[in-house]
Structures are given as structure tokens and as C-alpha cells.
Amino acid sequence: MPSNRSVSDAPITQFINCRILRDHRLQREDLWVREGRILDPEKLFFDEQGYADKRVDCEGSIIAPGFIDVQINGGFGIDFSQASDDVSAGVSFVAKKILEHGVTSFCPTLVTSPPAVYHKVLPQVKVHGGGPHGAGVLGENRCVRPPPEDELQSFPELVLTRSSICGPFGAGGWSGSQSVVRELCQRSITCHSVANLSQAEDAVQTGASFITHLFNAMLPFHHRDPGIVGLLTSDQVPAGRTVYYGMIADGIHTNPAALRIAHRAHPSGLVLVTDAIAAMGLPPGRHTLGQQVIEIQGLHAYVAGTKTLSGSIATMDMCVRHFKQASGCSVEEALEAASLHPAQLLGLGHRKGNLDYGSDADLVLLDDALDVKATYISGEEVWRKGP
Amino acid sequence: MTGSGSCDKTDVSQHLTAQLKNRVFSERAGTMRLVILDDYDLASEWAAKYIRNRIIQFKPSADRYFSLGLPTGSTPYGCYQKLIEYYRNGDISFKYVKTFNMDEYVGLPRAHPESYHSYMWNNFFKHIDIKPANAHILDGNAEDLEAECQAFEQKIAEAGGIELFVGGIGPDGHIAFNEPGSSLVSRTRVKTLAKDTIVANARFFGNDLSKVPTMALTVGVGTVMDAKEVMDQNHTDIFSSTTSCLLHCSLVMILITGAHKAFALYKAIEEGVNHMWTVSAFQQHPRTIFVCDEDATLELRVKTVKYFKGLMHVHNKLVDPVLSIKDQ
């Protein structure tokens, strides 16, 4: 049946035989796409008297919004923080590879580095949409040490939507920091790693919204001073705001019990991140990455010859699976932690991270075990699992 | 055949079979059938099989569409489910079927979950292969409602009238939104809803009376009477835009299920034609089928029920064998 051309000539695709994640639950519904966005089929039927040009049989798969990784330092041998001359090639390489793991948008992350590195690397990272070439870049995520107040104005121009501050923690780290935080938040930087709960609450009230990898690199929870962890249940968070927190759910960086405590305390703020290092995606064995020699054993990446972890290498889909299994949460919650919540964190909830009408058709098709079967960006298939 | 004048058993039974066949498929004589099934599911299935057989027998094509009148509400839901099942199994197609719904609220946004557009999309259209241009529902948000009603009648006329009109019955015996007191020769029009109706429907609008639409467009009794066939479905929703679109409908089928419809069924078929119980008008339609479950017969005379139950073997010939496009 030909589709009506009264509103748009663009072809219409109908995904059938699938369960879609919408309104926080998996529903047996078809998914319609036109011009890279999710289409309302009822409006199409009654207003345009149109129907699908093409049907994609999903064979019972789950369709979830494409995953969004807001914290990824590299992968497949590429390190984003390396001040090379061709950063964008590295970003593109990773962008292409992560499609296999269901990631359709990401924020290449720079670890805490000297300002010179930022000056060199940042301008080379451009925000752009995804496609068959790779996942979309939403902006960079950079960990920076908050500068002293007098250096604030000369701080490198930040072009990101979000950035996280890896501050010095411990005593004296944040004296006079509120004005710094405010300034950085105005420039769209989210802060983390402040020392105690009231400082953290101040930061949130000033505009901070994201806790980078909860539990890691911050003071541990103490019952008389919960520290940053206390933000999860703080009553000082302004109305209408949500504090989001990243979790590396690889089973290594966070004990499953701690993961469950955080999830149960504040489920809607949980954002799955890989925080992956360059070794992610490389096969087991030894690899030389920059100055380091890394040894990969299963999901562990050690500094070669030691038992010191050098970073996380779990891919996003592994994190989703592990999160579901460790927390006992529902499929919907696990999928939303990797899609809806990061989109909301970045202020992109109106067009990413969900399958609402009008949103970008960035999709990941999964089987019941949450293994990725295919990835779509703007309604176009960009990766499919081989037979 | 055996010779001489003696009538043997073969002759007699063949003769009777022929008569039976004629009786079932005769469309020139007027027929009123009361088909009684044990429960809602069986009634829904019988009705769906009947619709299926009628469409397939008609052999619709691009030059000759089958036009079907449709209701909304909880009563026809089971029937729609079965029709969807038959479509999924490949036994029926709606490619050459045109549909005309009986009614729609006035002033309710089309995308509202309680609009009849939403009902038809979610419960029927989105699951089958009907062409969007062939699915007609009155537009309760039209600028000129009267013109909309007339245009609807016109569309039905252009479609050559409705072959089979499926309808329901309200607890007060109305068909579509032809409330008690409606003219029995009415056409498609705007109707103001009765207080009872509004109260009854408040449950779909968060129990807020102020949110319930007060007007609707509905096919008229006259419109449905014109249907070549009227199949009445007892529907609980009382909003309908009265469209007098029962133009030359070949057959009318009315689905009536549940004890709360029993009194209305009694009034509709055991008492006289009366504009207070508008479904009674179908006593004068040449071909009417009332499909109901046991509960809906609770107010009927035992004699009536026994009589029609005794005819089930005749009625069942309409649905057995059940046809399929796979055999064509």
C-alpha cells in the first residue's frame, strides 16, 4: 500500500513484532519512524490517511531508546585525553565501535589534565549527530580541577552542555568554592567531589546536577556526614530538580550491595556510565596504551604485572545487563538508566532517551537477555549482529 | 433417483435440505433472528464469524467495496478481537472494506483516549489492513457540525449504502445516540446527551462530570434502518452522533450482552415499536439479527428463548462453514 504524500514525501518505516519501551514500561506496540523521528501512527492514519512504506519485522525483540554514554574516556585503543593532532579521528573510531554496544550518543570524556591538553583537544571535538558512521557526539565531558577564583576567567572556554569537575577532595579543597561552582555551573559544568554533604547541597543549589561515578573517588558514606552520597536522599535539593549520579555497573568498581543501596535510595537519578578507558573492547592479554602496559583478564584491566585496576572496560550493554542482574531491577529500569536518565541529565529529554512521538529515532534492538541485536540512528540501521 | 412415484427417504431429506438452504439464505423474505450464545466470548465469536462470512461471500474488490457500519464500546470489543485474529491468520482482509462508525463525541479532541477515533484506532484499525481513506468516523470537531452530518450521509450514499451495519443497544434501548424519544425516521444529526448518559460516562473522564462531552454526532434510526442489514451490538456508551446513515443497509446485526441489557432487549423485541426504545424500530427492518448471550435474555419469555434456541442449527449455518480468503 502506498503511503500518503500529503504531508511529507519521506518514507515511513513501521517496526512490527516488537515490544517498545514507552511510558516506563515495555508494551507490545509497533514503532513508526519518518524522517529520523518517531511518528504518531494514529495521526498519520486520520490526518494524512497514510501508512507504512516499509515494515521491519523485529521478531519479538525489545526496542529501547539508544544508550547514551556520558562518561567514556576512550576505547578500542583510543584515549581521548591524548593531546594528539587528530583527536577527531579517534573519536570517530570509537563512535563507530560503540554502535555494537547499543550506544547511539556519547560524550567523549577527558580525564583531569593540564590546561594545555584541554586547549589542544577540546576544539577538535565537535558536537554532531550520529549515523552509519558512528554514534552522535553530544559534547565533551571533562574532568577538571576547579581553578582558584582568580584564574576562573581565563579558564578554557567550555563549549559543552555538561562537564564534570573532579575536584580535590579532603580538607581545604573547597574554601570559597561556592562562587567558583556557580561560575562553572553557569558555564554548564556540573561539579562533583566536594567534601561534605552541605557543600554538596550548596553546589546542587547553585546548579550542579551530576555526581560522577558515585562511591568512586569521593569520601565514603559516614552516618554523621554522608558526604556526596547523601545527596541521593537530600531534602535540600530544589523542587523540580533531580540529582543524577553515574554508576559504573561492571561488578568491579562498585560492590553490588552498594549499587543496590544507591538504586533503592534514588532510582530515578541513576545514570549508567562506562567510564571506559582505552582498553575497552580490546581482547584479553597485554596491550600497550600510551605510556602504560595494561593486562586484560575478563572484565578486569590491571596495570600489567600488578593487581591494580587501571580503569573500567565494561561496555555499556554489559553494564546494563549487570546492573539489572545485580540490582534486581526491572528491564525497563535497567534500560532507562542507560537512556532516559542520561538524556534528562543533559537536558535532552525532549528528543533523546525515549520513544515518544517526535523524539529522535535512535534505537537499540535487544533480545530478552538484553544482548544487542541491532542499532538504529535516526531510524536508519547502523549496526546489526551477524548470524 | 429411484423411479416410480414412491417418495423414499433420500428424496425427502434432499427436499428438506433444499428448503432449509433456501430458508437460511433467502434474502427476499424478511428475517428476524435472535441468536443466543452461552456467553460473551461465544457471542463475540459468532458475530465475528458472521461478519467474516459476509465479507468473503461478497468478494469485495477495488471496484466493489464492502461497506460496514461499526459501533464502539465494551460490547463489540470481543468481536473486534476475533476479527483481528482472523486477519492475522490470513483468513480475511479489510483491504476492500469501507467502514462507517455510528457516532462520535462533539468537542472532544480527536487524540483524547476516550474519543471514538481513539477507540477505533487502538481496538481495530491499527491491527488490520484497512486503507485509512476508507475508515470514516464523524468529526466531532468540525466547524459546521450539520454540514459534517450531511457529508457523512453523502459518503454513505456514494459508497452505495451500507451492506452490514453492526450496532449495540444502550440500557435504555437506544441505538447509537438515539436516546429515548428520538424520531424513528431520524438521520445523521447532532444530539444533546441525556443527563443519565453523561453520568454513566463520567467514569471514563475521571468521574468529573464537567469533563464529559454534552453533545455528539450520531447516525439516526432512519439511517440505520436504511442499512441493507443491521447487526446490532449492545453497546454501553451512549454517546453517538446520530447519523441517519442507515441508507439501504442490507443487514443489521445488533450485539447485546450482559444482564444489564436484558430489559432493553425485552423492550426491543417483545414489545411494540416505540421511540422510547429506539432499537425496537428494527422489528420493521427486512433483515435483522440480534446476537446475544444468555444473560441478555433474562427478561425475555421462556417461550421466546426456547423458540430461538431451537433455531440455532439454522442460525449456525450462517457461520458454519466459516469461510477464508485462503480458499479463494
| Domain ranges within chain B, ordered by starting residue | 33-168+176-229+270-294
A3 CB within 8 Å of a chain B CB: no
The DSSP symbol for B183 reads -
A5 CB within 8 Å of a chain B CB: no
Q: Is the model's pLDDT at A3 over the cut of 60?
A: no
Instruction: Give whole-number Cα distances, B244 to B72, B152, B153, B180, B289, in Å.
Output: 17, 9, 7, 16, 20
- More confident call, B16 vs B70: B70
pLDDT of residue A203: 76
- More confident call, B48 vs B30: B48
Grade residue A375 by pLDDT with cuts at 50, 70 and 90.
very high
Q: Which 3 state secondary structure label does DSSP give A49? A: coil
ipTM: 0.82
Q: Edge-to-edge, what's the strand order for the sheet holding A270-272?
A: A210-211, A244-247, A270-272
* Residue A344, C-alpha cell as written in the block: 534528562
A30 CB within 8 Å of a chain B CB: yes
CB-based burial of residue B287 (10 Å sphere; 0-12 exposed, 13-18 middle, 19+ buried)? buried
Could you give the angle at which helices B40-58 and B77-88 cross, rounded to 10 degrees?
Answer: 50
Q: Is the model's pLDDT at B55 over the cut of 50?
A: yes
Question: How far apart, in whole angstroms, are the C-alpha atoms of residue A73 and residue A98?
Answer: 13
- More confident call, B8 vs B99: B99
Q: Of A1, A43, A44, which is closest to B131 when you measure between CB atoms? A: A1
Top-confidence range, A8-12, A50-54, A372-376: A372-376
Nearest chain A Cα to B136, which residue? A46
Q: What residues pair up with A300 in beta bridges, in sequence order?
A: A297
Place of cell 536518565: A341
Residues of A annotated as catalytic (active site), given as ranges? 275
User: Cβ(A200)–Cβ(A181) under 8 Å?
Assistant: no
- Mutation site, B121, B122, B123, B141, interface A, largest A CB count within 10 A: B121
Q: Report, as an integer, the average pLDDT of A48-60.
A: 93
B178 alpha-carbon distance from chain centroid = 15
Domain ranges of chain A: 12-64+355-384, 67-345
Residues of B in contact with A48 (CB under 8 A): 132
Beta carbons within 8 Å of A372's beta carbon, 6+ residues apart: A100, A101, A102, A317, A364, A365, A366, A383, A385
H-helix or E-strand containing A56?
A: strand A54-57
Q: Of B110, B122, B129, which is closest to A46 when you measure between CB atoms? A: B110
Q: Is the model's pLDDT at B238 over the cut of 50?
A: no
Average pLDDT over all residues of chain A:
84
Catalytic (active site) residue B174: yes
Cβ density class B153-180: b for 16+ within 10 Å, e for less:
beebeebebbbbbbbbbbbbbbbbbbbe
Q: Report, as an integer, the average pLDDT of B22-30.
A: 53
Asked if residue B321 has a cis previous peptide bond (ω within 30° of 0), the answer is yes
Q: Can you identify the CATH homologous superfamily of domain A12-64+355-384?
A: Urease, subunit C, domain 1 (2.30.40.10)
Place of cell 483468513: B91
Grade residue A194 by pLDDT with cuts at 50, 70 and 90.
low
pLDDT of residue A329: 95
- More confident call, B214 vs A181: B214
Q: Which fold has domain B33-168+176-229+270-294?
A: Rossmann fold (3.40.50)
Q: What residues pair up with A191 in beta bridges, in sequence order?
A: A165
Q: State the first-to-last Cα distance of chain A, in angstroms, to the nearest integer.
A: 31
Q: Is the model's pLDDT at B17 over the cut of 80?
A: no
| B103-105 and B215-218 beta bridge pairing | antiparallel
Closest-CA residue to B191 (of B255, B145, B147, B155): B145
Beta carbons within 8 Å of A120's beta carbon, 6+ residues apart: A83
Condensed to tens digits (0 to 9), the pLDDT of residues A197-210 reads 887 787 778 777 88
Question: How far apart, in whole angstroms, are the C-alpha atoms of residue A140 and residue A128?
Answer: 11
CB-based burial of residue B142 (10 Å sphere; 0-12 exposed, 13-18 middle, 19+ buried)? middle
* Residue A82, C-alpha cell as written in the block: 591524548
* Residue B67, C-alpha cell as written in the block: 461497506
pLDDT of residue B197: 78
Average pLDDT over all residues of chain B:
86
Question: How far apart, in whole angstroms, are the C-alpha atoms of residue B229 and residue B66?
Answer: 12
Closest chain B C-alpha to A52 CA, distance in angstroms = 11
Query: What are the residue ranges of helices labelled H in A231-378?
Result: 256-265, 316-327, 331-338, 340-345
Pick the CATH number of A67-345 from 3.40.50.1220, 3.40.50.11540, 3.20.20.70, 3.20.20.140: 3.20.20.140
Backbone angles phi, psi at A137, to 5 degrees: -100, 120
H-helix or E-strand containing B252?
A: strand B251-256
Q: Which residues of B touch A (CB under 8 A)?
A: 110-111, 117-118, 121-122, 125-126, 129, 131-133, 135
Rg (CA), chain A: 21
Range of lowest pLDDT (A47-56, A166-175, B144-153, B214-223): A166-175
Condensed to tens digits (0 to 9), the pLDDT of residues A290-335 reads 777 889 988 888 888 888 888 899 999 999 999 999 999 999 999 9
User: Which amino acid, one-letter code, is at A135?
Assistant: A
Grade residue A172 by pLDDT with cuts at 50, 70 and 90.
very low
Phi-psi region of B283 (alpha: psi -120 to 50; beta: other; left: phi over 0): alpha
Angle at A314 between CA A308 and CA A315, to 5 degrees: 155
Instruction: State what percent of residues in chain A have pLDDT above 70.
Output: 84
- Mutation site, A46, A47, A51, interface B, largest B CB count within 10 A: A46
Place of cell 534505537: A363
pLDDT of residue A154: 52
H-helix or E-strand containing A108?
A: strand A103-110
Instruction: State what percent of residues in chain B have pLDDT above 70.
Output: 84
User: Cβ(A135)–Cβ(A95) under 8 Å?
Assistant: yes
Condensed to tens digits (0 to 9), the pLDDT of residues B253-280 reads 999 999 999 999 999 999 999 999 989 9
User: Cβ(B176)–Cβ(B234) under 8 Å?
Assistant: no
Range of lowest pLDDT (A216-230, B6-20, B173-187, B244-258): B6-20
A213 is in an annotated binding site: yes
CB-based burial of residue A303 (10 Å sphere; 0-12 exposed, 13-18 middle, 19+ buried)? middle
Closest-CA residue to B184 (of B272, B262, B100): B272
Range of lowest pLDDT (A170-184, A219-233, A347-361): A170-184
Q: Which 3 state secondary structure label does DSSP give B3? A: coil
Q: What is the pTM of this model?
A: 0.83
Question: How far apart, in whole angstroms, are the C-alpha atoms of residue A339 and residue A101?
Answer: 13
pLDDT of residue A101: 96
Range of lowest pLDDT (A115-124, B146-155, B246-255, B305-314): B246-255
Beta strand ranges found along A17-116 (DSSP E): 19-22, 25-28, 31-34, 37-39, 54-57, 62-65, 67-72, 74-75, 78-79, 103-110
A17 alpha-carbon distance from chain centroid = 28
Q: What residues pair up with A32 in beta bridges, in sequence order?
A: A14, A39
Top-confidence range, A141-150, B119-128, B162-171: B119-128
